[in-house]
Structure 1
Amino acid sequence: MKSIIKFVFLFSVSFLMAQSYQSAESVEFDPVNNQWLVANGSRIIADDGEGNLSYFGAGNASHGLEVLGNTLFAVASNRIKGYDLSNEDEVMNLIIPGVSFLNGLTNDGANTLFVTDFSAGKIYSIDVSDISNPTYTELVSNTGGTPNGVLYDGTNNRLLFVTWGGSAQVKAVDLGTNLVTTIITTSLTNIDGIVDDSLGNYYISSWSPDRITKYNNDFSISEIVTTPSLNNPADIGYNQDTDIMGIPMGSSVIFVDLSLLSNSDYNANTYEYLVSSNPINESSYIQFTLQDAEFIYLRIYDTSGKLVKILMNEEIQASTHKISLADLQLSSGVYFSRLTTQKGTSLTKKLIVN
């Protein structure tokens, strides 16, 4: 297996405010309220990515979190709870009799949740199409390991889950047959979380060594993508719109810009994507060139990954395009402009506003 080592800039640490992290275990981006939600034992904490913390209503979660539509689902001491993202009210409280230690949680983007039972080596599916009357099914009775984080992979009609212990594995559940296969046996110990990006790459968090490892779509190439300053990274979360990963580590949560991993120099040259001048002033502009007509997203995010301005969201013709930055009306600070194309290219430039 080819192994490539790269490093990523960790740019935001959530410091403790009136609320504090004591057992941050799982993190999930909340697109409804443009914030991160963190399972922190007895309470769910909302984190704006800039160190400002608040309680998410009276919600509690011990492990996995998943946003599905307008609902946050949470593993809370062997129950699966649901919370309305608009008003933070509890809308579901499901008990699955006989479970041992519910842990990882994922969803199919429609009406089904999947949850791992860490100690019993099982996986359950939960139908939440009627949230007032959810039903569950034992999907896998024996995972052949200790299942932790889990990810729905709709492209391949499967679940991917990671295992605890030495020589930890990434395994798959075929959702057509419910059969379990091993994708890869790693040299890592205690894999906790798994997420994917918009390009079909996978990221896993491990406790030994303490790191995030990136795999390509068939797990044949791996990259070490974080500095070795992590400490027991748990159930990671990922915002595909901004390439921001949230990493919970017990007493803290950090946020990582994965776009800094991409080798975008070639693509940047291909699209001639530039910002002039920077720091931003009344004459500054973003310029890029398209060789073909494409649908383009041009957006600005702050350092926490929050979307702060949409500059373009449309199909445009092949040409050189210049977008004025004269009227950004942004507070002083560092921002990122992100050009995303229909062909899958994602390019990022730092903006400095004085």
Structure 2
Amino acid sequence: MKRLSSLLLCSAACLTSAWGQTLTSIEAVEYEPNSDRWVVSNGSSMLVTADEGATWSTFGSGGATHGMEVVGSTLFAIQNNVLRAYDVVTEDQIGSVIPIGVTFLNGMGSYSNSDGDFLVVSDFGTGRILKVDVTDPTDMQVSTLVGNTGTTPNGVTVVDQTAYVVNWGGNASVLAIDVETGEQSTVLGNSGLGNCDGVDHVWGSFVVSSWSPQRLSLFTMDDEGTWSEGETLVQGSPLSNPADLSINTAGDTYAVACSGNNTVYFGNLMDWNDVTEWTA
């Protein structure tokens, strides 16, 4: 298993506004590989940057309050318990669905197989994990994968047909859920982190954001699926309530939405040593 412990952060950027666009009430950021850019939720709007926050522009006319995920040429975004689909080229909304019985849709991951394209979405309020068939984003089909995790599920990422879910609360656990059967197990019972929010995977490892402490942590996974003790990537300032995060396709750059100060923090995973911070 390739480890990232030798990597150091070589560049980072925190930006609150640029070119008249102001980040407010941000919660999630998502890498959009079709155009090599990043989309951030901004409440009643979404903003996009192709230069790691030096400039921002508006993405379409839709909004997002929580998790986002790009599948193919479609951006899926949660806005107040409505799951919306947007064409990443035209930036037009092409579909939406309101899952029955949800109280707080939050994080999501995705996977594709011979059956189609799917999202795995957490309901922070009820503990449910939803599975959404988005093969046709104009006609999304929602089902329940797990009725109640027994936790407060937050961020989700999917690797090899397994959804990894980080949880809110003290000494939060990390769950593994089979995306076909819904079978649930605990891969990390005592993370030592409080209020885990976002998660994404890179090179067989996982990056997790937490609020207590304010940290981005790196976890590796052994051949049996057990997670290691976390290693600190970034802790404290400039992080402020780091929420959902995303890693680019190349696996060398990540971004995390800091909901405490409405900034997006960009870091380079290839060499996290010389930190540069930009503020507007």
TM-score normalised by the chain length of structure 1? 0.69
Are residues 1:114 and 2:120 paired? yes
**d(CA) in 2 for partners of 1:145, 1:25:** 21
Are residues 1:75 and 2:74 paired? no
Identity, % of aligned positions: 36
**d(CA) in 2 for partners of 1:111, 1:13:** 33
**d(CA) in 1 for partners of 2:209, 2:6:** 15
Aligned to 2:247: 238
Structure 2 SS opposite 1:8: coil
CA 1:138–1:231 in structure 2 vs 1: closer, same or farther (change >3 Å)? same
For residues 160-211 of structure 1, what are the alpha-carbon distances to aligned partners after superposition, in whole Å with 9 as ceiling and x for unaligned? 00000111111111234312111112111100011011x2011100001001
Aligned to 1:140: 146
2:200 is matched with which residue: 180, 195, 203? 195
**d(CA) in 2 for partners of 1:24, 1:10:** 21
Aligned to 2:26: 24
Asked if the contact 1:118–1:147 (Cα under 8 Å) also holds between the matched residues in 2, the reply is: yes
Cα deviation for residue 97 of structure 1 reads 1.6
Asked if the contact 1:41–1:60 (Cα under 8 Å) also holds between the matched residues in 2, the reply is: yes
Asked if the contact 2:8–2:270 (Cα under 8 Å) also holds between the matched residues in 1, the reply is: no
Supply the AA of the counterpart residue of 1:206: S
Aligned to 1:223: 231
Asked if the contact 1:114–1:125 (Cα under 8 Å) also holds between the matched residues in 2, the reply is: yes
Aligned-residue CA RMSD in angstroms? 1.9
Matches within 5 A, 1:206-221: 206-218=210-222, 219-221=227-229
Matches within 5 A, 1:324-339: none
Tell which has more relative contact order, 1 or 2 (C-alpha 8 A, sep 6+).
2
Asked if the contact 1:6–1:226 (Cα under 8 Å) also holds between the matched residues in 2, the reply is: no
More deviation in 60-69 or 11-20? Answer: 11-20
Cα deviation for residue 23 of structure 1 reads 1.4
Are residues 1:181 and 2:185 paired? yes
Asked if the contact 1:100–1:118 (Cα under 8 Å) also holds between the matched residues in 2, the reply is: yes
Aligned to 1:64: 67
Question: Which segments of 5 or more consecutive residues in structure 1 lack a partner in the other structure?
Answer: 263-302, 304-354
Supply the AA of the counterpart residue of 1:259: M
Supply the AA of the counterpart residue of 1:194: V
**d(CA) in 2 for partners of 1:82, 1:88:** 10
Supply the AA of the counterpart residue of 2:196: I
**d(CA) in 2 for partners of 1:50, 1:123:** 32
TM-score normalised by the chain length of structure 2? 0.87
Are residues 1:14 and 2:20 paired? no
For residues 75-118 of structure 1, what are the alpha-carbon distances to aligned partners after superposition, in whole Å with 9 as ceiling and x for unaligned? 11101100000110000111112111000011103511111000
Structure 1 SS opposite 2:21: coil
Matches within 5 A, 1:1-354: 8-17=9-18, 18-48=20-50, 49-109=52-112, 110-154=116-160, 157-184=161-188, 185-197=190-202, 199-218=203-222, 219-229=227-237, 230-250=239-259, 251-261=262-272
For residues 319-342 of structure 1, what are the alpha-carbon distances to aligned partners after superposition, in whole Å with 9 as ceiling and x for unaligned? xxxxxxxxxxxxxxxxxxxxxxxx
Cα deviation for residue 226 of structure 1 reads 1.1
**d(CA) in 1 for partners of 2:89, 2:108:** 21
Aligned length: 257
More deviation in 75-84 or 5-14? Answer: 5-14
For residues 225-262 of structure 1, what are the alpha-carbon distances to aligned partners after superposition, in whole Å with 9 as ceiling and x for unaligned? 11421111000111131510001112110100011159
